Amino acid sequence: VPLAGQLGPQPSQPLALFTMGCCPSEEENVARAKTKLVERMMQEEKRKDSEIIKILFLGTGESGKSTIFKQMQILANIDFQPHERENFRIIIRRNMVQAMQEILDKVGERLEGNLKDSAKVVGESDDLEEDVWNAKVSNAIESLWNESKIVKDVFIKRENLHFPDTVSFFFDEIQRITKPGYLPNNNDILRARNRTTGINEKTVIIRNVKFTFTDVGGQRNERRKWIHCFDGVTAVMFVAAISEYNQVLYEDEKTGRLEEALEEFHRIVNDECFDGAGIILFLNKIDMLEVNLKHFPFKDRFGYQGKGTIEELEDVKRYIHDLFLEQVDDPDKRHVYTYYTCGLDTNNIDRVFRACQKSVLTKNLLRMGFV
């Protein structure tokens, strides 16, 4: 019996539980929506990024990789803008002055007497000026190039000189290059030499496929930057100038350029960073190889036993080709796709790049729907 003031047994009722904060506020809903949107955008960017074929150009200085880098822009039908052409005009004229100054330093007192005044004009020109060019300098260079046998001989036998091979093209075209209003055409731009520093990157579409090409400086002091470009690379294009077997490095005149290229290729081709990437080797400057073999036989270089003259061009090409493939520590693990190239020949680079697409890029990119 319940006591006074007490209630008797009550019907069983569920216990109501109250939890504070179960219902998110409007601000929280907005924040969550923004987070999800950002995540979706990041995933979409990651997906798009994975569909871009990333090609890294590597090679030692003067190999011609920056020329091939410019060829990719031409193959993508991207024209050089007027301000770019104006900048290349300055670079081309500066190349000519610097090259002639270097030649004259080598010629020294052997220069023909009637050309001393022209040599003085060139020697006193400040090649660091933005545009060192004027009629006086132009006439002096034209006279030296066309009238001096010694200048031509030094140019041909330039084993320890460091100006670009292509400067002779500009010397021959000096009247066109001197004209008021001159703007370099594509052939001029391909031959212009501006030493690469830092990292240059360009994304283009070639035959409906998006590529990102990265070009980094080839000199020794630039190579420490290479590692920053290694992530996510689809393929490495290593460019080696096989014509420079008789020339030394710009930064170390005790080391041959081809020797350095072989050592650097050995380091790159066996680097674990590129285990998932295709390795493409461009044996470049085959046009200059033909020229050099006429003056500098390959005999006794790198163990070559033949005469090494122009008559053995194909044998020398194959021998250098094999020297590079010998740098691969594990050929069964690492396949190298090798091509002979002339970086100045757009048709040649186009054919070679198409072959690259059909071989190494296709093999590595089936999952992207590349083919």
Q: pLDDT for 325-337, tens place per residue?
A: 999 999 988 889 9
Question: Residue 5 pLDDT more than 50?
Answer: no
Token duo for residue 45: 């960017």
Cβ pair 347, 283 in contact under 8 A: no
Q: Does the annotation mark 301 as catalytic?
A: no
Question: Pick the catalytic residue: 178, 212, 219, 338?
Answer: 219
Q: Among the options 62, 260, 264, 312, which is catalytic?
A: 62
Please tell me which residue in 60, 67, 196, 247 is annotated as part of the active site. Answer: 67
Q: What percent of the chain has pLDDT above 90? A: 56
Tell me, yes or no, if 67 is annotated catalytic. yes
Q: What is the DSSP letter of 305?
A: -
How does pLDDT run across 31-81, given as a tens digit for each residue?
777 777 666 665 554 545 556 888 889 888 889 988 999 999 999 999 999
Is 193 among the catalytic positions?
A: yes
Least confident of 35-39, 123-127, 244-248, 257-261: 35-39
Catalytic option among 94, 193, 244, 247: 193
Residue 194 has pLDDT above 70, yes or no: yes
Residue 144 · residue 100 · CB < 8 Å: yes
Which of the pair, 308 or 161, is modelled with greater confidence?
308
What does each C-alpha distance from 35 to 25, 32, 41, 46 come to in angstroms?
15, 5, 10, 16
**Catalytic-residue membership of 345:** no
Using the predicted structure, report yes or no on whether residue 111 has a pLDDT greater than 60.
yes
Taking residues 186-214, report their average pLDDT.
87
Mean pLDDT across the stretch 220-247?
A: 77
The overall average pLDDT reported for the chain is 84
| pLDDT band at residue 323 using 50, 70 and 90 as cut-offs | very high
Q: Are 101 and 122 in contact (CB under 8 A)?
A: yes
Written as one string, the DSSP assignment of 74-124 is: HHTT-PPPHHHHHHHHHHHHHHHHHHHHHHHHHHGGGS-GGGHHHHHHHHT
> Exactly one of 188, 215, 260, 312 is catalytic; which is it?
215
Is 219 an annotated catalytic residue? yes
pLDDT confidence of residue 367? 47
